[in-house]
């Protein structure tokens, strides 16, 4: 990435790749990789350890786990289940002993690629009201106290999502928030097959809907785990990427790119079957959370 | 209404009628009626003035305005608009000088006759975020600072609606809440053609979804205006009403009624075109609020 | 049932019961019953053998299999599957060797209790276009050549469903039609837990949407299997049933009943969770058809 | 356009522009232009007059009227109405004296940018069943005999749309078909603001859903008017267009373009607000048809 044109990505993995391409090592950023070739599951953990690393990456200090899983939107029940269980393992690990969880489904349920969060919340097993009514032993199956909310987007509510979530957190006192969001990626190859899980919460400017304010531990007083799946690529990005492959005078290209970026600024790229895909991905994520919140045994996460 | 079987209605008008039928006058309850025969608009104001009246009516002290308007779900734009303007007038009167309003769309958007509140909120012109960004002069059209939320129902959220609304109110500091809800009536004749506006808020047990806790000024610290439209009749009610017309030994009937009430307890009666009707009614209500919140001139309410 | 007030039911089983109650035997109508108590599956086959039986029952000569299955809308996968397999068995038996099947999803997808047919069709595995492209061996899994259509209702299309289906049948030449429809029952106990399968097709006046013309073998030239599930009770019916239990002067009651029937003529009774229930029932039915059309082994139907 | 990579467009206007850019005149193709600057309405009529012109354009002989109207998805009622009336005029002109019209809503109602046709049909005033019931004088308002169908896509039905439409045409005998479809354009500038009206019907390979067979007069026996609005751009196209602006060795670029085209073959570009836009565009089109079919006076089309 050169010059002023900024290719946008919400994936720490992609930000890091753009450095790697230029053979730049970033101090304060550590990478771990693991692969389960048989089941096509690839995990990359980007740990931003210092403020220096955070500046370089343009993302806060913390852990960014990226799960690449072509089967995220699989129709095959077994394959889909394997992804759910793997994700459930990471969620459990990050939740630790925290019992009461508020799941926040970010995004706009009426804009297909932004409807991931609302659709995940629709499929969760909610327990908080049952636990309050019948005590924690009402069911052997659910271990956590789960509540959920779909706050909607600012054009629909007139309120910052942060305001709504903070009010609800203060009133209902969960111990952790899990925020689900649709993300923008840089590469179409990643759409609907990558999950990013991070303990740094939601950052301003991220997401398909471009959140204006963050949803983070320092703003809410409790940890925020963010789970995101890229569902769109900014249209300007794919043009930019193609042009980078053409070796040409830099100056000319830069102004051309900016012109194109402006023309395409309200456009995004999605797969042709996005409506169906969002349904499937949201099911896999909801299952992952339902498993994470239950006492179902799952294979260990290394 | 005799014996133990309780016919349920959320309309103060209908509670009062059941007394009137038995020629009972209730102290502490005052009635005012007005009719606009030409436009088929009938207004009944039930004022519960004393605790005695409240006990008798089973509803709290306050004003209950009932607007009977066959054109509430009219396809004719002019007729529909007249209902919207009339309702807008009552809303303005009850709001007074309060500028910042939070509209709460109660109910379940996935259960047709309970989706009225969410559908109204979908069609509102939201201004709070614009006013905060550009100041109150950003548009000459909107006078109030409008925000809105669809909290969802407890089975979906695990939280009481009151908890969510109270949290959001504390964080975003509106001066009044307007709660929109689908109601249960006693008579099928009233379905989708009656609007009840009250300054007493939402009471426990009311609504198609049977709210467990109230949403009232004493719980939120700011006035709550509730606007409701009956969209269902409990199935047991229509059977009971029919049977009352048959003069029969009371004792036998009472037990029969209770048996039938139990059998029908999960059933309700709706018009065959409820999906389309809810769309139209929600449009009329949303228009009413959009007018009420703007500086559009409307004919005076007497 | 006495006098002029006609309680409406689309279930042959219920018509027959109303006779049985009055201890009337009908010549030309044969009944067979089977019960699987363990799995709560009850089958009643009403065979109308003669024109005399047809007149008495108000339904054409043919076989009416009624499957009573509380698990029709079960969330439990195993229970739901058992119902699907049982229904699949009956469908296979009635289809016989006919290979090419057109499934017709009757009803209005925008009116919840009438949306059963469209929702079933949405979940079918369609094969006709694949067989035409790749030959019948393209998949070992699907044995039949399956096509499907949701014709919509007359107010949306301006056409009789029969006209549309006949045109499509003539052009695409299936060997049998399976028509899926939502029915009206007499008793709320039967809603969403009863399936009627018949080889007599769809008759005028039946269905939630009151089909104006039939869809039958004599009109299409190929056999028509109709599969229906009652999703509503006419509101007048439950009142009438309650009143029958009150021993009263017949004449008076009759006129009262007619008055009530008129008042309630545009109302129906549905369970409060009808939106969710229709989703589940349509899944069970679609699974049944997918199994029936495949070569999956299922337990024998006696 | 050079080499093997084919930039796809369903708009005759855009095909013609790509020739114009290379200063190529095509024999047998005539162009007429008209502009209403005040209301931002631009009409280009491409008349393909000869088989030679048809070969060059890759589209059949006939008239292609393109209406460029930024207000096609306007929220302003007056602006939107003006577009509807203009389109209504062209439809009336092409329909001539034909009285009985079947409107076919092509596309997949569950894929947002392909749902234009189904959404238009949902909002039409259907009259055929009323005329058959009450005679043509039943309403002074509707002059034409209107029926409509949403056939669905082949993956849902197993049938070619042509088969279904031909069957229905033979059975119900309309005098003309109007087919509504979502198109692919070459330029994002045209999305949701251009309408193409043609008397050549639907051609194989056109449309967002890539129709496999045409729907044309020679296949149906009655005239077919096709109305299309571009709602997507193939993702490969915007990359290709950008790269054309970079003067580079042709050979290298051509192979790069093909590689990119392959990578992006399942992706398309849409505006971020596509769900809302489709709702608005479909309303404008439905209004246009409702006006065209009525006897409402509209300003003349020159």
Chain B environment of C260 (Cβ under 8 Å): 242
Convert the pLDDT of each residue in C154-192 to its tens digit.
999 999 999 999 999 999 999 999 999 999 998 888 899
Choose the mutation target among C246, C250, C254, C271 for the interface with B, i.e. most B CBs under 10 Å.
Answer: C246
Burial (0-12, 13-18, 19+ Cβ within 10 Å), B126: buried
DSSP A227-266: EEEEEEEEHHHHHHHHHHTS---HHHHHHHHHHHHHHTTT
Among residues C153, C172, C162, C159, the alpha carbon closest in space to that of C102 is found at: C172
User: Among the listed ranges A1-5, A159-163, C146-150, which one has the minimum average pLDDT value?
Assistant: A1-5
Taking the C-alpha atoms of residue A225 and residue A97, their distance in angstroms, rounded to an integer, is 14
Residue that wins the pLDDT comparison between C279 and C24? C279
Among residues B195, B205, B251, the alpha carbon closest in space to that of B226 is found at: B195
Coil, helix or strand for A204?
coil
Instruction: Give the per-residue pLDDT at A102.
Output: 97
Q: What average pLDDT does the segment B127-132 reach?
A: 92
User: Does the CB of C100 have a partner CB in chain B at under 8 Å?
Assistant: no
Taking the C-alpha atoms of residue C109 and residue B263, their distance in angstroms, rounded to an integer, is 29
Q: Which helix (H) or strand (E) holds A148?
A: strand A145-149
Instruction: Give the per-residue pLDDT at A138.
Output: 67
The share of chain D scoring above pLDDT 90, in percent, equals 49
φ, ψ dihedrals at A176, nearest 5°: -155, 155
Q: What average pLDDT does the segment D215-239 reach?
A: 91
Partner A, chain D 222-261, Cβ-Cβ below 8 Å = 233, 235, 238-239, 242-243, 245-246, 248, 253, 256, 260
Convert the pLDDT of each residue in D31-62 to its tens digit.
999 999 998 999 999 999 999 999 988 889 99
Q: Cβ–Cβ of C126/D157 closer than 8 Å?
A: yes
Pairing label, strands C176-185, C100-105? parallel
Taking the C-alpha atoms of residue D279 and residue D106, their distance in angstroms, rounded to an integer, is 15
- In sign, the C-alpha dihedral spanning C27, C29, C34, C39 is negative
Among residues D1, D62, D50, D3, the alpha carbon closest in space to that of D26 is found at: D50
Taking the C-alpha atoms of residue B102 and residue B91, their distance in angstroms, rounded to an integer, is 13
Taking the C-alpha atoms of residue B63 and residue C264, their distance in angstroms, rounded to an integer, is 31
Taking the C-alpha atoms of residue C106 and residue C273, their distance in angstroms, rounded to an integer, is 22
Taking the C-alpha atoms of residue D212 and residue D162, their distance in angstroms, rounded to an integer, is 9
Chain C environment of D166 (Cβ under 8 Å): 167, 171
Instruction: Give the per-residue pLDDT at B250.
Output: 56
Burial (0-12, 13-18, 19+ Cβ within 10 Å), B150: buried
Query: Which tokens belong to A235?
Result: 């249209």
Residue that wins the pLDDT comparison between C269 and C141? C269
Taking the C-alpha atoms of residue D130 and residue D141, their distance in angstroms, rounded to an integer, is 12
State the residue for tokens 């807008």: B88
| Predicted confidence (pLDDT) at residue D4 exceeds the cutoff of 70 | no
- In sign, the C-alpha dihedral spanning B153, B158, B160, B161 is negative
Chain A environment of D272 (Cβ under 8 Å): 111, 266-268
Comparing alpha-carbon positions, the chain C residue that sits nearest to D171 is C167
Q: How many Å lie between the alpha carbon of A167 and the closest alpha carbon of chain B?
A: 4
| Predicted confidence (pLDDT) at residue A160 exceeds the cutoff of 60 | yes
When pLDDT is cut at 50, 70 and 90, the band that residue C258 belongs to is confident
Instruction: Give the per-residue pLDDT at D66.
Output: 94
User: Does the CB of B210 have a partner CB in chain C at under 8 Å?
Assistant: no
The share of chain B scoring above pLDDT 70, in percent, equals 89
Q: How many Å lie between the alpha carbon of C163 and the closest alpha carbon of chain D?
A: 6
φ, ψ dihedrals at D273, nearest 5°: -100, 35
Instruction: Give the per-residue pLDDT at B4.
Output: 42
Taking the C-alpha atoms of residue A133 and residue A143, their distance in angstroms, rounded to an integer, is 15
B121, B158, B170: residue with CB nearest A127: B158
Coil, helix or strand for A43?
strand
Q: What average pLDDT does the segment A45-71 reach?
A: 92
Q: Which helix (H) or strand (E) holds A101?
A: strand A100-105
Q: Cβ–Cβ of B158/A146 closer than 8 Å?
A: yes
User: Does the CB of D184 have a partner CB in chain A at under 8 Å?
Assistant: no
Q: What average pLDDT does the segment C71-80 reach?
A: 86
Instruction: Give the per-residue pLDDT at C2.
Output: 37
D44 to each of D22, D41, D84, D185, D188, how far by Cα in Å?
Answer: 19, 10, 17, 16, 18
Choose the mutation target among D144, D163, D171, D212 for the interface with C, i.e. most C CBs under 10 Å.
Answer: D171
User: Among the listed ranges A9-18, A156-165, A256-265, C173-182, which one has the minimum average pLDDT value?
Assistant: A256-265
Convert the pLDDT of each residue in C220-257 to its tens digit.
999 999 999 999 988 877 777 777 666 555 556 667 77
Q: Cβ–Cβ of C129/D172 closer than 8 Å?
A: no
B243, B273, B276: residue with CB nearest C246: B243
Please say whether the beta carbons of D18 and D11 come within 8 A. Answer: no
Query: Which tokens belong to D148?
Result: 């409509």
Comparing alpha-carbon positions, the chain C residue that sits nearest to B273 is C111
User: Does the CB of C70 have a partner CB in chain B at under 8 Å?
Assistant: no
B181-203 burial, b for 16+ CB within 10 Å, e for fewer? bbbbbbbbebbbbbbbbbbbbbb
User: Does the CB of C206 have a partner CB in chain D at under 8 Å?
Assistant: no
Please say whether the beta carbons of C257 and C5 come within 8 A. Answer: yes
Four-CA torsion B5, B8, B12, B16, nearest 10 degrees: -30
C158, C160, C170: residue with CB nearest D127: C158
| Predicted confidence (pLDDT) at residue A226 exceeds the cutoff of 80 | yes
Q: What average pLDDT does the segment B196-200 reach?
A: 96
State the residue for tokens 């109303």: C18
When pLDDT is cut at 50, 70 and 90, the band that residue B182 belongs to is very high
Convert the pLDDT of each residue in D89-141 to its tens digit.
999 999 999 999 999 999 999 888 999 999 999 999 999 999 998 887 766 56
| Predicted confidence (pLDDT) at residue C199 exceeds the cutoff of 50 | yes
Convert the pLDDT of each residue in B48-62 to its tens digit.
999 999 998 888 999
Q: Cβ–Cβ of D148/C126 closer than 8 Å?
A: no
- Measured distance between the N- and C-terminal CA atoms of chain D, rounded to whole angstroms: 34
| Predicted confidence (pLDDT) at residue A139 exceeds the cutoff of 80 | no
Residue that wins the pLDDT comparison between D141 and B115? B115
Comparing alpha-carbon positions, the chain B residue that sits nearest to A126 is B158
Rg from Cα positions in chain C: 19
When pLDDT is cut at 50, 70 and 90, the band that residue C41 belongs to is very high
> What pairs with residue D145 in β-bridges?
D100
Instruction: Give the per-residue pLDDT at C49.
Output: 94
Task: Tally the residues of chain A.
Answer: 302
Q: What average pLDDT does the segment C117-132 reach?
A: 93
User: Does the CB of A277 have a partner CB in chain D at under 8 Å?
Assistant: no
B110, B188, B253: residue with CB nearest C275: B110
Please say whether the beta carbons of D67 and D45 come within 8 A. Answer: no
| Predicted confidence (pLDDT) at residue D302 exceeds the cutoff of 60 | no
Q: Cβ–Cβ of C159/D151 closer than 8 Å?
A: no
Comparing alpha-carbon positions, the chain A residue that sits nearest to B153 is A149
Q: Which helix (H) or strand (E) holds D67?
A: strand D62-68
Q: In chain B, where does DSSP find H-type helix?
A: 12-21, 51-57, 77-95, 116-122, 128-134, 154-157, 161-172, 217-220, 235-244, 250-263, 274-293
Q: Cβ–Cβ of C172/D159 closer than 8 Å?
A: yes
Instruction: Give the per-residue pLDDT at A2.
Output: 37
Please say whether the beta carbons of D96 and D107 come within 8 A. Answer: no
> What pairs with residue C196 in β-bridges?
C66, C228
Q: Cβ–Cβ of A268/D266 closer than 8 Å?
A: no
Instruction: Give the per-residue pLDDT at A229.
Output: 94
Please say whether the beta carbons of D198 and D63 come within 8 A. Answer: yes
Convert the pLDDT of each residue in D178-221 to its tens digit.
999 999 998 888 889 999 999 999 988 888 888 888 999 999 99
- In sign, the C-alpha dihedral spanning C15, C16, C17, C20 is positive
D253, D260, D267: residue with CB nearest A270: D267
Q: Cβ–Cβ of D168/C164 closer than 8 Å?
A: yes
When pLDDT is cut at 50, 70 and 90, the band that residue D2 belongs to is very low
Instruction: Give the per-residue pLDDT at C142.
Output: 59
Chain B environment of A127 (Cβ under 8 Å): 158
User: Among the listed ranges A153-167, C17-31, C201-215, which one has the minimum average pLDDT value?
Assistant: C17-31
| Predicted confidence (pLDDT) at residue A224 exceeds the cutoff of 80 | yes
Tell me the average pLDDT of chain B. Answer: 86
Four-CA torsion A279, A282, A286, A289, nearest 10 degrees: 170
Instruction: Give the per-residue pLDDT at D275.
Output: 87
Chains with ≥3 CB–CB distances under 8 Å to B? A, C
Comparing alpha-carbon positions, the chain A residue that sits nearest to D253 is A246
Residue A266 CA from chain centroid, whole number? 22
- In sign, the C-alpha dihedral spanning D96, D99, D100, D102 is positive
The share of chain C scoring above pLDDT 90, in percent, equals 50
Q: Cβ–Cβ of B170/A172 closer than 8 Å?
A: no
Q: How many residue pairs bridge chain A and chain D with CB atoms within 8 Å of each other?
A: 90
Chain B environment of C256 (Cβ under 8 Å): 242, 245-246
φ, ψ dihedrals at A90, nearest 5°: -65, -40
Q: Cβ–Cβ of B266/C243 closer than 8 Å?
A: no
Question: Helices D250-263 & D235-244, crossing angle to 10 degrees?
Answer: 160
Q: Cβ–Cβ of A159/B129 closer than 8 Å?
A: yes
Q: What average pLDDT does the segment D260-277 reach?
A: 80
Please say whether the beta carbons of C281 and C192 come within 8 A. Answer: yes
User: Does the CB of D136 have a partner CB in chain C at under 8 Å?
Assistant: no
Comparing alpha-carbon positions, the chain C residue that sits nearest to D167 is C167
A248, A272, A275: residue with CB nearest D268: A272
Q: How many Å lie between the alpha carbon of D4 and the closest alpha carbon of chain A?
A: 18
């Amino acid at each position: 990435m050169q010059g002023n044109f900024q290719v946008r990505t919400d994936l720490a993995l992609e930000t890091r790749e753009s450095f790697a391409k230029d053979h730049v090592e970033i101090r304060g950023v550590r990478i771990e990789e693991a692969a389960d070739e048989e089941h096509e599951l690839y995990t990359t953990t980007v740990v931003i350890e210092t403020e220096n690393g955070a500046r370089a990456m343009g993302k806060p200090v913390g852990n960014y786990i990226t799960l690449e899983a072509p089967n995220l939107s699989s129709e095959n029940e077994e394959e889909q289940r394997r992804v759910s269980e793997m994700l459930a393992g990471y969620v459990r690990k990050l939740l630790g002993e925290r019992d009461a969880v508020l799941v926040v489904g970010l995004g706009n349920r009426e804009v297909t690629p932004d409807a991931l969060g609302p659709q995940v919340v629709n499929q969760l097993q909610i327990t908080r009201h049952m636990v309050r009514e019948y005590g924690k032993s009402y069911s052997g199956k659910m271990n956590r106290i789960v509540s959920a909310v779909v706050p909607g987007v600012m054009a629909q509510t007139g309120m910052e999502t942060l305001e709504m979530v903070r009010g609800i957190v203060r009133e209902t006192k969960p111990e952790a928030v899990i925020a689900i969001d649709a993300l923008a990626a840089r590469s179409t190859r990643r759409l609907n097959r990558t999950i990013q899980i991070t303990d740094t919460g939601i950052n301003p400017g991220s997401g398909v809907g471009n959140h204006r304010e963050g949803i983070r531990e320092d703003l809410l007083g409790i940890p925020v785990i963010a789970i995101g799946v890229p569902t769109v690529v900014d249209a300007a990005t794919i043009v930019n990427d193609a042009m980078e492959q053409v070796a040409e005078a830099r100056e000319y290209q830069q102004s051309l790119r900016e012109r194109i970026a402006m023309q395409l600024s309200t456009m995004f790229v999605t797969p042709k079957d996005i409506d169906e895909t969002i349904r499937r991905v949201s099911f896999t994520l909801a299952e992952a959370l339902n498993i994470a919140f239950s006492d179902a045994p799952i294979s260990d996460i290394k």
